[in-house]
Amino acid sequence: MTGRTHDAAAITLLGVAVALYPIHSITLATALVAILANQIGGIMPDIDQPTAPFWRNLPIGGFFGRFADKLLGGHRFLTHSLLGAAAIAYLAHWLLVFISPLMPHVDIDLVWWAFIVGLISHLLMDTFTKEGVPWLLPVPIKFGLPPIKALRVTTGKFVENLIIFPGLILIDVWLVATHYHDIVTFIHARVGS
């Protein structure tokens, strides 16, 4: 999937998770940092690709991206597995705990949870592509849905651009519309009238 589809999928899955498991006590700072963390989590597995959005958005990211590509075994290898996701989740938690003194009004656990939702959304979306995902590494089998490779999505082509991406946007619009009152109440309670 392309970067924009991963961005949309991350925020959509976060919206679905919050709709299913409402968070009753959260600061505005936590909500904003959690959304940012969710978006970073949504592109994080692609750090194994030198041209990934994560590297393009850093001043010297291309330089580091070339090393990450070789170190992580290439695109859709370690970072696209449960083992890689667990390692990324652990490192992200460690980093959040380390920087938490800089953000005293931010619930680090909720931010980490939002990051993980984004990370998992990436792996789920790539499971629907022709290449699939090596979920069970070190077992070298890439899994995909549907099981017949010819029926899977080609990244950046018709199905992704005209069905999946717009479908994610429609789900987001539906989530906002059906939870509009809750969203407005949340904003008013934190920002004021």
- For helices 180-191 and 165-178, give the axis angle rounded to 10 degrees: 70
Q: Between 82-99 and 28-43, two packed helices, what is the crossing angle to 10 degrees?
A: 150
Nearest CA to 104 out of 31, 29, 170 is that of: 29
Mean pLDDT of 50-79: 74
Predicted local confidence at residue 91, as pLDDT: 97
pLDDT, position 192: 62
pLDDT in tens, 120-159: 999 999 999 999 999 999 998 999 999 999 999 999 999 9
pTM, rounded to two decimals: 0.90
Examine the pLDDT at 172 and tell me if it is beyond 90: yes
